[in-house]
Amino acid sequence: MSERLDLAGKRLVLGLSGGIACYKAAELLRLLVKAGAEVRVVMTEAARQFITPVTMQALSGQPVLSDQWDAGQPNNMAHINLTREADAVVVAPASADLIAKLAQGRADELLSLLCLARPIADCPLLLAPAMNREMWAHPATQRNLAQVRDDGAIVLGPGNGDQACGETGDGRMLEAEELFEDIVSALSPKPLAGERVLITAGPTFEAIDPVRGLTNRSSGKMGFALARAAREAGAQVTLVAGPVHLPTPRGVTRIDVQSAEQMLDAVLPLAATHGLFIATAAVADWRPAKLADHKIKKDGKKVPPGVELSENADILATVAALPRPPFCVGFAAESEQLARHAREKLVRKKLPLVVGNLGPATFGRDDNALLLVDAQGERPLPPDGGTADKLTLARQLVAEIARRRATDAA
């Protein structure tokens, strides 16, 4: 599978101010470069006390800048050159002192100078605060943060947990992977801004007794990728997940459930407040008619116990039949005759769009191929009819759904 380049063609300035979290900036830089970004690193004098420019130069493949008086720049204006070329300035770590300077518009060294000199409308400023919990909670820091937010900066985190000083609380810098996800998201187009999206994902587990149950091989990856893509596209996302071992995408509200009945109970009250419902979950069609209180034991007669089944409600069809339903997107996991079965679901469940895929070929895998089926016809995703990783497919599908929503609204 080809490497996905989430930041291909993007030019970033990565600024480091002083803080122990500078060590995480090296890993962040590696992720940014691996994703195709061209990164220029700027370090304050304090940052250079924590890690050396040699590391950042090696990882970015470019000399590190620190000095506003650096004669290496032909026009001697590093702060202008850097920001006119950049798609964003990311400061990680952003110290309490740097945030205070930004709040006041001070510019006495290269990093704060270039933040002030950047074209606000074209070059977003992303700050990843990193500091001791008392410094974070101090009214001066909170005042400064409110000010920089008001001035348009996007504040990423901070996280919560053990701190280098031995204390525990708010203020630690987000991990490199988390920052990376937030940066990709901040630089993504926002065709679903203002939209609320409800997604079901994963299998359901229908208990037979306290230790056994009926389930299926859905991994939840497609639904989780869609939740991430919808959030990147600006939506507020609620993800109702069956039992899966996947991390929650950044900024997504997750509700964990086990059974189809619990999934329905979680989804129904939310359906009215969400404009878009995407049902990727592989919901078990049947559940054991009764749950045994204790583990069913072998009775010595070598006769297996019969398990009587009851049919589960169809969550998607129930939502689609509401008086004012959200825009409902169904998934069809089939083993053959994909287009025919997907269309049959489109009609039976009264949906504007069904996304078909071949179940056995996709469960648990990272790449997939989709077939979009609606009243007009069919078309493949990716559009070239090949395969793509699930996040790429999720982004294409979210863009497609956003286009349809915009057409509906027009």
In whole angstroms, what separates CA 295 from the centre of its chain? 39
292 burial (CB, 10 Å; 0-12 / 13-18 / 19+) is middle
Indicate whether 362 belongs to the interface with ligand CTP (CB under 6 A).
Answer: no
Q: Is the Cβ–Cβ distance between 149 and 121 less than 8 Å?
A: no
The single residue among 332, 346, 373, 381 that binds ligand CTP, judged by CB under 6 A, is: 332
Indicate whether 198 belongs to the interface with ligand CTP (CB under 6 A).
Answer: no
- The Cα–Cα gap between 167 and 144 comes to 23
Considering beta carbons, is residue 314 or 400 the nearer one to ligand CTP? 314
The single residue among 177, 285, 367, 374 that binds ligand CTP, judged by CB under 6 A, is: 285
Positions 226 through 265 that interact with ligand CTP (CB under 6 A): 260
- The Cα–Cα gap between 90 and 380 comes to 37
Indicate whether 312 belongs to the interface with ligand CTP (CB under 6 A).
Answer: yes
Q: Is the Cβ–Cβ distance between 12 and 39 less than 8 Å?
A: yes
Considering beta carbons, is residue 181 or 314 the nearer one to ligand CTP? 314
Residues 6+ apart with CB under 8 A from 122: none
The single residue among 315, 353, 391, 393 that binds ligand CTP, judged by CB under 6 A, is: 315
The single residue among 205, 224, 277, 331 that binds ligand CTP, judged by CB under 6 A, is: 331
Q: Is the Cβ–Cβ distance between 298 and 350 less than 8 Å?
A: no
Indicate whether 345 belongs to the interface with ligand CTP (CB under 6 A).
Answer: yes
Indicate whether 44 belongs to the interface with ligand CTP (CB under 6 A).
Answer: no
165 noted as active-site residue: yes
Considering beta carbons, is residue 200 or 387 the nearer one to ligand CTP? 200
Among 22, 115, 123, 165, the active-site one is 165
- Minimum Å gap between C-beta 49 and ligand CTP is 54
What six digits make up the tokens of 364?
């648990």
Indicate whether 346 belongs to the interface with ligand CTP (CB under 6 A).
Answer: no
CA angle 85, 91, 93 (to 5 degrees): 155
Residue-wise DSSP of 124-168? -EEEEE---HHHHHSHHHHHHHHHHHHTTPEE---EEEE-TTS-E
Among residues 252, 231, 255, 233, which one has the least CA distance to residue 242? 255
Q: Is the Cβ–Cβ distance between 114 and 82 less than 8 Å?
A: yes
- Minimum Å gap between C-beta 317 and ligand CTP is 7
Considering beta carbons, is residue 112 or 200 the nearer one to ligand CTP? 200
Indicate whether 133 belongs to the interface with ligand CTP (CB under 6 A).
Answer: no
The single residue among 14, 316, 369, 373 that binds ligand CTP, judged by CB under 6 A, is: 316
What six digits make up the tokens of 278?
């995407």
Considering beta carbons, is residue 137 or 347 the nearer one to ligand CTP? 347
- Minimum Å gap between C-beta 267 and ligand CTP is 8
Instruction: Point out which residues bind ligand CTP (CB under 6 A).
Output: 200, 260, 279, 281, 283, 285, 312, 314-316, 330-333, 345
